[in-house]
Amino acid sequence: MKICIPSFNRVETLRNKTLMTLKDVPKEMIYIFCVEEEYDDYQSLGFQTIIGEKGITNQRNFIYNYFPKGTKIVFIDDDISGIFRMKERLDPLTFFNEAFQKAGVRLWGINPISGFLKDTETNDLRFCIGCLYGVTTNNIILNPLAEGKEDYENSILHFQSVGLLKFNGVFVRTKYRAKGGLGEERPNNQNAIDYLKKYDVVRDKKEGEIRLLRVKGLDLHTIYTMLQKITVPVKQGKSSRQGFPRHRSTPFGISRARYSAKVGPSWASLKYPHIWEEIQKIGNHFNFNFTTVQLNHNLQCPPHKDGNNVGDSLLISFGEYTGGEIVINGETHNAYYNPIIFNGYELEHYNLPHEGNKYSLVFFNNLPNQ
């Protein structure tokens, strides 16, 4: 684990605040990143000091690339006077280890404010403020156009790529928009706000959270409500796929019988036409060609390939759960409210464990020349 402190024009602040907060952390874990003209001042603090780049977005990108891919990095601002869960002061290193253990490869973050706290953990798309967060380095690069609001783009890109975990009951003691550094520039950076409009996100007025919008009409709440009113059939023994555990799953659309090879409308499509209609709306929203949609309920798939699928599949998951990421050809992705298109016939894939109520829809084509 590397604890990285990007800092600019705040040597004494860093000495008196963040370094005091980290006083029990081994010095070899702490790295200070500064600009060249301030190198001597920061080096005098007695910690590993690296010359990076000017601007917080450029500096974050520099740090992402400075360490090998797969390195666990904690980003912490230079003016942090303490880390707290609800009213309890936390030992920084203990919390960092806990956060990485729970988050895995996901970005983890904290609450930007000390009020309206609930000691919960969530994995939907929420704003993870840049003053304290952790990542396992990957290929994500932030756009300098987001300068001053780069933590919004950081949250979005990690959610879309590997997912995120937010500790809603954890916050830091700091003074936002304090003089020096970049704090004074963040509130009114209209260029960054305009740039971020490329993403379908919305700010929650209460906490400053960001969530994916129903992308121009995409509504997963309706299908989630419908599915909670039915019981998805259990698959086991001869009715299940080889190597799969007992699970709940059923196809909608065109179904090919596993043993007779008979082709026709699936049982679920005929029994629940209103659900099938809603599922088709979702697939058509992405302009995706499909004949069949596999509905899975709380299924953890073992490593497999989809032998009967033709071409690409589209996967999207929803519900109230944590975990459950999909690993495709060795790379981890988060399909929670985030459609993922891949060739399941060619690429081995499986799910990581999850907790909670999870549904997933897999849109695919199982008929040639469709």
Give the chain's count of helices (H) and strands (E): 10, 23
Q: Which amino acid is at 348?
A: E
pLDDT number for residue 300: 92
358's tokens: 């999870």
CA distances, 128 to each of 49, 143, 169, 264 (Å): 26, 17, 13, 47
pLDDT at 144 exceeding the cut of 60: yes
Sheet of strand 164-167, all strands in order from the earlier edge strand to the far edge:
48-51, 30-34, 2-6, 72-76, 132-136, 107-110, 164-167, 121-122
- From residue 298, alpha-carbon distances to 136, 160, 295, 337 in Å are 27, 21, 10, 16
Q: How many CB atoms lie within 10 A of CB 288?
A: 16
Q: What is the pLDDT of residues 249-282, one digit of tens each?
A: 999 998 876 555 678 899 999 999 999 999 999 8
Mean pLDDT of the 294-310 span: 90
Average pLDDT over all residues of the chain: 85
**Structure pTM?**
0.60
pLDDT in tens, 305-331: 988 788 889 999 988 887 888 998 888
3-class DSSP assignment, residue 217: helix
CA pair distance 45, 15, nearest whole angstrom: 7
At 264, give phi and psi (nearest 5°). 175, 180
Residue 114's pLDDT band (cuts 50, 70, 90): confident
**Is the predicted pLDDT of residue 167 greater than 50, yes or no?**
yes
pLDDT tens string 8-26: 999 999 999 999 999 999 9
pLDDT band at 210 (very low <50, low <70, confident <90, very high): very low
d(CA 51, CA 53) in angstroms, rounded, equals: 7
Predicted confidence (pLDDT) at residue 135 exceeds the cutoff of 60? yes
Q: Which two tokens stand for residue 239?
A: 């009715």
